Amino acid sequence: MQSQLPFYPEQASNFAPSVDSLMTFLILVSVFFSAAITAAIVIFFFKFHRKSKNEIGVPIHGDMRLEISWIVFPAFLALAMFGWGAVVYVDYRHPPQDTLDLYVIGKQWMWKIQQPNGRREINEMHVPVGRDVKLVLASEDVIHDFFVPAFRVKMDVVPGHYNTMWFRPTKAGHYHFFCSQYCGTNHAVMGGWVTVMEPSDYAAWLSGSTGEDVNPVVAGEKLFAEKACSTCHLSNGTGRAPSLNGVYGGTVRLADGSTVTADDAYIRESILDPPAKIVAGYQPLMPAFQGQLTEEQIMSLTAYIKSLQSQPVPATGAGVTVPGKR
């Protein structure tokens, strides 16, 4: 459990080595420039120290070759930093396929985490080593930020948006996570621990769920009926609203001719603000659920919709929408 360099935190995810290598590269470049400039200043300072009270310096107005070289050379180094940094970031912003998806909800001042089988945790997160883990982040109130230093990852948790982040834990252990976006009084204590376990231990832990945890798909199915979603979203595609079977993860054609991928954020928006994106071939009839569902309920509904993978999308041209209203 120790880092290989004294001022680097422990490395416990796939991103840690790449972020640390970037850091080392930038430190080397910085040390080179700082040392060169400092050495020049110190040498000039003593070497060209004023020798008599009325002495003046040698008038030198500039040198075009020098000017160009100290524009061009640093520009290339800057491009290298940009390019390398971009590679790591683009990888981070694009989660791989087939991830283990956890839902994370931030609220003043605690974290609620839900495992795929519905097991809930507060300020604790258990994940298996070696598996790509994706977190879907939502906030009940202000902006928070989920930060795991040992994984070198963080992402803002923004109310009204879904953000995602991913990582692959590489070492079993117990790691701090923090809220790193200032969120009010107890911001500093809005943190907890990530426990990275061997896959078998994780499976055992997951099945040791207490009876109170409700599977999000089951909870979502119940909500789907309670909120009367099921009266329009008939599974055979004959309802006033499109069938939701097999919609998740697919492409949806919209009334304005554009298309959209049916991901968590799209489903969330279509529930809260249906007129924003109307599926081709349907009327905007659905009422908006803004302010009527908690983030957890939205996540349950999404989990339920995600589970409806059996039948193909009807040929009417579309898919989702938890259709429009009005």
Residues numbered 271 to 310 that lie near other proteins (CB under 8 A) are 290-291
Please classify residue 317 by burial: count the beta carbons closer than 10 Å to its beta carbon, then call 0-12 exposed, 13-18 middle and 19+ buried. Answer: middle
Which residue in the set 82, 122, 124, 198 belongs to the binding site for other proteins (CB under 8 A)?
A: 82
Give the x-and-dash track for 9-38 against other proteins (CB under 8 A).
Answer: x-----x--xx--xx--x--xx--xx--xx
Q: Answer yes or no: are the C-beta atoms of 128 and 169 closer than 8 Å.
A: yes
Q: How far is the CB of 164 from other proteins (least distance, A)?
A: 8
Torsion of CA 7, 12, 15, 20, to 10 degrees: 20
The number of CA neighbours under 13 Å toward the Cβ of 142 is 14
Three-class DSSP category at 191: coil
Residue 96 sits at the vertex; the CA angle it makes with 159 and 257, to the nearest 5 degrees, is 65
Residues in region 195-214 near other proteins by CB under 8 A: none
Q: How far is the CB of 16 from other proteins (least distance, A)?
A: 9
Residues in region 142-171 near other proteins by CB under 8 A: 142-143, 145, 147, 149-150, 152-156, 158-161, 163
Q: Rounded CA gap, 142 and 163, in Å?
A: 14
Is position 223 an interface residue for other proteins (rule: CB under 8 A)? no
Q: Rounded CA gap, 37 and 32, in Å?
A: 9
The residue (of 195 and 245) whose beta carbon lies closer to other proteins is 195
Where does this chain touch other proteins (CB under 8 A) — which range of 81-89, 97-105, 201-209, 223-231? 81-89
Residues in region 89-148 near other proteins by CB under 8 A: 89-90, 92-94, 108, 141-143, 145, 147
Where does this chain touch other proteins (CB under 8 A) — which range of 80-88, 111-119, 196-204, 302-310? 80-88
Give the x-and-dash track for 34-63 against other proteins (CB under 8 A).
Answer: x--xx-xx--xxxxxxxxxxxxxxxxxxxx
Which residue in the set 179, 197, 305, 313 belongs to the binding site for other proteins (CB under 8 A)?
A: 179
Nearest Cα to Cα of residue 305 among 241, 233, 239, 252:
233
Amino acid letter, residue 297:
Q
Q: How far is the CB of 48 from other proteins (least distance, A)?
A: 5
Q: Answer yes or no: are the C-beta atoms of 262 and 251 closer than 8 Å.
A: yes
